[in-house]
Amino acid sequence: MAQKIPQATESNRRVAIVTGASSGIGEATVRKFITNGYAVIGNGRKVEKLDSLAQELGSAFIGVAGDASDNAVIDQLFAAATTHFGQPADIVVANAGRGLGGSVKDADLTEFERVLQINVVGALNLIQKAAKSMVEVQATHFPNRAADIVVIGSVVGRNLSPFSAVYGSTKFAVHSLAEGLRREVGPFGVRVSLIEPGIVMSGFQDAAGYSDDMVAHFETNFGPILYGEDIANAIYHVVSQPPHIHISDMMIRPTRQDYP
């Protein structure tokens, strides 16, 4: 007999936490989720941008400003789900991160400690808290409802990149954490999915210190390159699957990007 897949209704709409929500992949994911009826708690550093999103998107969006690697801010994100939407978050997208251009020999390491803090320590704090909450909830909800932890990795977390090897080391770490968590909580009905984007045009390049020439090189050699909306579509596809289907790993490149 075929299994009956439960359908979402207004009374059980999904509630998502998205970090790095004020631009790029994060902002596009917020918009995609709300367009499809989800409630979203978005985190970012830009208070004005979060306020603007709240005015535009309405009561389905709540902004929590602050550092995504700060445990107090992470606690606020989970508390906001219950306070504003009446239920725990059942989607967490660990998207906040920073880039760092340069090879192992030549990268300017003055910012590396901060990159490590947000890309690895902050991501780990977020997904650990999500896992503890979701495992408890899924004890009674699975397989009637899904619970998703989505980790934004990178193609340079799988393939060594000569122009961003130091940054890539943080993504190798994140990939390891995502796979470890998948094996740990999957049996309890919690899906952990790793999304590995290739080159995505956003504010990331400026923050990473990439030169205009390097960005132009990307477009010339790999274009048309990806935008945040392309990755948001993939994230939505992953979390919108029925609870018994788990897409655990997805790499997304521009068609012409051969490497990394």
Q: What is the pLDDT of residue 207?
A: 54
Average pLDDT of the segment spanning 12-34? 96
Contact 236, 33 (CB under 8 A): yes
Q: Which residue has the higher pLDDT, 30 or 3?
A: 30
231: pLDDT strictly greater than 90: yes
What confidence tens digit (pLDDT) does each residue in 38-84 have?
999 999 999 999 999 999 999 999 999 999 999 999 999 999 999 99
What confidence tens digit (pLDDT) does each residue in 130-171 have?
999 999 999 999 999 999 999 999 999 999 988 889 999 999
Domains of the chain, earliest start first: 11-252 (3.40.50.720)
What sign does the dihedral 64-75-87-8 (CA atoms) show? positive
Q: What is the pLDDT of residue 218?
A: 82
What confidence tens digit (pLDDT) does each residue in 167-204 have?
999 999 999 999 999 999 999 999 999 999 999 987 65
For helices 24-35 and 228-239, what crossing angle results, to 10°? 50
Q: What's the CA angle centered on 26, arms 23 and 29, to 5 degrees?
A: 125
26: pLDDT strictly greater than 90: yes
Model confidence band, residue 8 (pLDDT cutoffs 50, 70, 90): very low
Model confidence band, residue 6 (pLDDT cutoffs 50, 70, 90): very low
Which residue in 240, 258, 238, 259 sits closest to 248, CA to CA? 238
Q: What is the pLDDT of residue 204?
A: 58
* Token pair listed for 60: 């389905």
Q: What is the pLDDT of residue 2?
A: 43
Average pLDDT of the segment spanning 79-100? 97
123: pLDDT strictly greater than 60: yes
SS3 labels along the chain:
CCCCCCCCCHHHCCEEEECCCCCHHHHHHHHHHHHCCCEEEEEECCHHHHHHHHHHHHHHEEEEECCCCCHHHHHHHHHHHHHHHCCCCCEEEECCCCCCCCCCCCCCHHHHHHHHHHHHHHHHHHHHHHHHHHHHHHHHHCCCCCCEEEEECCHHHCCCCCCCHHHHHHHHHHHHHHHHHHHHHHHHCCEEEEEEECCEECCHHHHHCCCHHHHHHHHHHHCCCEEHHHHHHHHHHHHCCCCCCCCCEEEECCCCCCCC
Which residue in 223, 173, 172, 226 sits closest to 204, CA to CA? 226
| Average pLDDT value over all residues in the chain | 92
Contacts of 86 (CB under 8 A, 6+ apart): none
